[in-house]
Amino acid sequence: MSVPTPHIEAKFEEIADTVIMPGDPLRAEFIAKNFLEDAVCFNNVRGMLGFTGYYKGKRVSTMGHGMGMPSVGIYTYELFNFYKVENIIRVGSAGGLREDIGLRDIVIAMGTCTNSNYVHQYSLPGSFAPIASYELLEKAMVTAKQKGIEVKVGNILTSDIFYDEFSLQKEWLKMGVLAVEMEAAALYMNAARAGKKALCICTVSDLPFTGESCSAEERQTTFTQMIELALEMA
In a domain, 138, yes or no: yes
Nearest to 219 by CA among 107, 92, 102: 92
Q: Is 5 inside any structural domain?
A: no
Domain contains 179: yes
Per-residue model confidence (pLDDT) at position 232: 96
Based on the structure, what is the number of domains in the chain?
1
In a domain, residue 215? The reply is yes
pLDDT digits (tens, 9 = 90+) for 155-178: 999 999 888 766 678 899 999 999
Q: What is the pLDDT of residues 111-131, one digit of tens each?
A: 999 999 999 999 999 999 999
Global confidence as pTM: 0.95
Residue 6 lies in a domain: no
Round the average pLDDT of the chain to a whole number and report it.
94
Structural domain includes residue 4: no
Q: Is residue 7 part of a domain?
A: no
pLDDT in tens, 32-62: 999 999 999 999 999 999 999 999 999 999 9
Peptide bond into 4 cis (omega under 30): yes
Which of the residues are catalytic? 206
Range of the domain at 185: 12-232
CATH number of the CATH domain containing 165 = 3.40.50.1580
Kindly state whether residue 199 falls inside one of the protein's structural domains: yes
**C-alpha to C-alpha distance for 234 and 213, rounded to whole angstroms:** 29
